[in-house]
Amino acid sequence: MPDSPTLRALRRHGDDRLFLTGRKLREGAELMFFAYRAFTSDPDRILHERGYGRAHHRALHFIGRRPGISVAGLLDILGITKQSLARVLRPLTEDGLVDSIPGEKDRRQRLLTLTEQGRAFEGALAEAQRERLARAFREAGPEAVAGFRAVTALMIDGDARDDILGMVYDAPDATE
């Protein structure tokens, strides 16, 4: 693992074999809060300029990762109500970022895709986060990245973990 002031500071905080102490768990929770704040800060600025929020970002992300996703499928992923999703999708559709088309087999079903403008906007949001992750992954090294993935995966509730990990790792990636 490359040596940096950040990593040296992290090592100064004591024996990591004592990771289940109250202090270490509190520090971990605080680091998660600050990391999330940093991770969302760049997209938040871009979203704010267009009058959108994080719910719009999440919808754009998952529609972009799963073109043709049904409204029901998106509801399931986001874990929100149909009414909440309607409030998010309405401006995205009106602004020409998301297309909603009827399903081929069931015309009542609504299938969601990003428009060309939507793909560009979602790409700008994602790029800032990919750059931040790439910097952190590069500095931390492969063992730390594997540990990060293990810890974040194990934070997902056990009954949903397999489905979510399958969704994350099996989804096609348009960015590669």
- CA atoms within a 13 Å half-sphere pointing along the CA-CB vector of 126: 17
d(CA 19, CA 150): 15
Amino acid 10: pLDDT = 61
What architecture (CATH level 2) is domain 20-170? Orthogonal Bundle (1.10)
CA 23 to chain centre: 28
Element (H, E) at 101: strand 98-102
Amino acid 1: pLDDT = 47
25-29, 80-84, 123-127: lowest mean pLDDT where? Answer: 25-29
Predicted structure pTM score: 0.83
d(CA 100, CA 149): 33
Q: Which residues contact 141 (CB under 8 A, 6 or more apart)?
A: 1, 2
Q: Choose among 57, 82, 84: nearest CA to 72.
A: 82
Q: What angle do CA 66, 110, 172 make, to 5 degrees?
A: 10
Q: Work out the burial of residue 64: count CB atoms within 10 Å of its CB; fewer than 13 is exposed, 13-18 middle, 19 or more buried.
A: buried
| pLDDT single digits (tens) 57-112 | 999 999 999 999 999 999 999 999 999 999 999 999 999 999 999 878 777 889 99
The winner for highest mean pLDDT among 10-14, 103-107, 124-128 is 124-128
41-45, 105-109, 119-123, 129-133: lowest mean pLDDT where? Answer: 105-109
3-state secondary structure of 113: strand
Q: Which residues contact 69 (CB under 8 A, 6 or more apart)?
A: 62, 63, 77, 111, 112
